[in-house]
A = this chain, B = another copy of it.
């Protein structure tokens, strides 16, 4: 069974989905929907329609799963529920605090439309969430830690770019090695925000800008930097492009807990990601969730799901027999 995919929104994430589809022989890209003028958008795959987003609903019988590749701030809160009326949909909604509300809206729309919607797929939320769930179910008496990085935070990079005098910037979130080691050793430390992560900023100044003032403004910026140990490196635009144009990310989910009648035995479960491309990894998760969404829909399923609600076998192209013989 092949799954016909539509991509809605063609930025880094949409392009990542397009690349991931090529790596999965059971997936077929049939159309890309864009808010830009379609003739100005060029994609990588030959023979795929590029359509204005307003025409999406007309494709409802030609697409098995629509992957929504917009942003969590303004696109997905309305798009996912809207398109769940016409399609099985998958999104990577990642505003953790608003997930319950998003779930409720999308669940209602998907049930009305008779479709499956998978939300918040990716790595955090996504694979990190799954690992928090599994580890907590196995070791009910324990403590969870999530560390992010070393990797580029788009939100923090944008915040630096808004400081007057800054021409360009890239911000890396970096786990504190000592904190990570203490957690791994099962010491269950209490860690403040400052003790878990540091922030490294690579900044290109506008001609004539005051470096000391810019540095001070960055380091004291509330929410973004004030609670962290932040270092600011001023570099040239050439150096930024040469050494900081990638979007790597990753991180660690660690749970340490105890078992035994006297809680005498300690266990540490660690899940770690090292990603050259944050959006391409997220896209790869979206594509296997699209496979699951299609299968769930074929079985008559409706409503909103997260990775928590999907039996792992639905994500894999392999059959139950193949999985049991080869991977169990």
Residues of chain A touching chain B, judged by Cβ–Cβ distance below 8 Å, are 16, 18-20, 22-24, 44, 96, 99-100, 103, 120, 125, 127, 129-134, 136-141, 184, 186, 259-261, 264-277, 280-281, 283-285, 288, 291, 306-313, 315-317, 320-321, 323-325, 327-328
A143 CB, nearest partner CB in chain B, Å: 13
Contact B267 A274 (CB under 8 A): yes
* Interface CB pairs A-B, < 8 A, 6: A99-B325, A103-B324, A134-B315, A267-B276, A307-B312, A308-B311
Instruction: Check A308–B320 contact: CB distance below 8 A.
Output: yes
Shortest beta-carbon contacts, A-B, top 4: A265-B276, A265-B277, A259-B280, A137-B315
| B281 adjacent to A259 (CB under 8 Å) | yes
Q: Which residue of B lies closest to A93 (CB)?
A: B328
Contacts A140-B24, A276-B266 given; does A260 touch B19 at CB 8 Å: yes
**The residue from B133, B277, B284, B311 contacting A316, defined by CB atoms under 8 A apart:** B133
Residues of B with C-beta under 8 A to A120: 328
What is the CB-to-nearest-CB distance from A2 to chain B, in angstroms, rounded to a whole number? 15
Min CB distance, A115 to chain B, in Å? 18
Residues of B within 8 A of A125 (CB): 328
Asked if residues A134 and B127 are in contact (CB atoms below 8 Å), the reply is: yes
Which of chain B's residues have a CB closer than 8 A to the CB of A131? Answer: 271
Known A16-B259, A274-B267; contact A328-B141, beta-carbon cutoff 8 A: no
A271 cross-chain contacts in B, Cβ below 8 A: 131, 269-272
Contacts of A259 in B (CB 8 A): 16, 19-20, 23, 276-277, 280-281, 283-284
Residue of B nearest to A308 (CB): B313
Q: Which residues of B lie under 8 Å from residue A20 when comparing CB positions?
A: 259
CB distance from A324 to the nearest CB of B (A): 6
A137-B291, A259-B281, A270-B274 known; 15 other A-B pairs, CB under 8 Å?
A23-B140, A44-B261, A96-B328, A127-B138, A131-B271, A133-B327, A134-B315, A138-B285, A140-B317, A259-B284, A260-B277, A270-B273, A309-B311, A310-B312, A311-B311
Choose among B19, B24, B137, B270 the residue that contacts A272 (Cβ–Cβ < 8 A): B270
- The docked-state distance in angstroms from the alpha carbon of A49 to that of B179 is 46
Contacts of A269 in B (CB 8 A): 127, 271-273
Kindly provide the distance from the CB of A47 to the nearest chain B CB, expressed in whole angstroms: 16
Rounded to whole angstroms, the CA-CA distance of A81 and B139 in the bound complex is 28
Min Cβ gap A78→B in Å is 20
Bound Cα distance A137, B134 (Å): 18
**Known contacts A307-B312, A321-B100, A328-B308: A260-B280 contact under CB 8 Å:** yes
Whether the Cβ atoms of A327 and B99 lie closer than 8 Å is: no
Which chain B residues lie closer than 8 Å to A270 at the CB level? 270-274
The answer on a CB contact under 8 Å between B132 and A327 is yes
In the bound complex, residues from chain B placing their C-beta under 8 Å from that of A133 are 312-313, 315-316, 323, 327
Inter-chain contacts of A327 with B (CB < 8 A): 129, 132-133, 136, 308
The answer to whether B19 and A261 have CB atoms under 8 Å apart is yes
- Asked if residues A284 and B99 are in contact (CB atoms below 8 Å), the reply is no
